[in-house]
Structure 1
Amino acid sequence: MIEDLKVRERAYELWEKDGRPEGSEELYWRLAQEQLEAEATPQAASEWPATGEASRFDH
């Protein structure tokens, strides 16, 4: 399981990269969790694009 502090930091980083959209806390939390879990699995780590990742989720 990924530590909440790491998820929080990643979520904030992603949120800032996407222009700080309001009302999207849960979206970025989920996205950060998925990224960190994928990074912990070597084969999945290369599947993540570098920016604009929130666009793959419905708002």
Structure 2
Amino acid sequence: MGISRLLIIMGIVLIVIGSLWTFVGKLPGDLVFKKGNTTFYFPIVTSIIASIVLSLIMYVIGRFK
């Protein structure tokens, strides 16, 4: 698998993730605290999912090297 093909696949994956993020917004499990004029948003579930996806991508890249 050439680097160009890998970059195209990664680009398609990023486009799909970006599109889903736009429609879904926040995932269940993400913490939002609102008090007065202040809003605190901590995307804990989103961070865990992003970490798993990036780990899998790095594993696949390392496997084909």
The TM-score normalised by the length of structure 2 is 0.36
Q: Which protein, 1 or 2, shows the higher relative CO under an 8 Å CA cutoff with sep ≥ 6?
A: 1
| Largest Rg, 1 or 2 | 2
State TM-score, norm by structure 1. 0.38
Compare the two structures and name the one with the higher strand fraction: 2
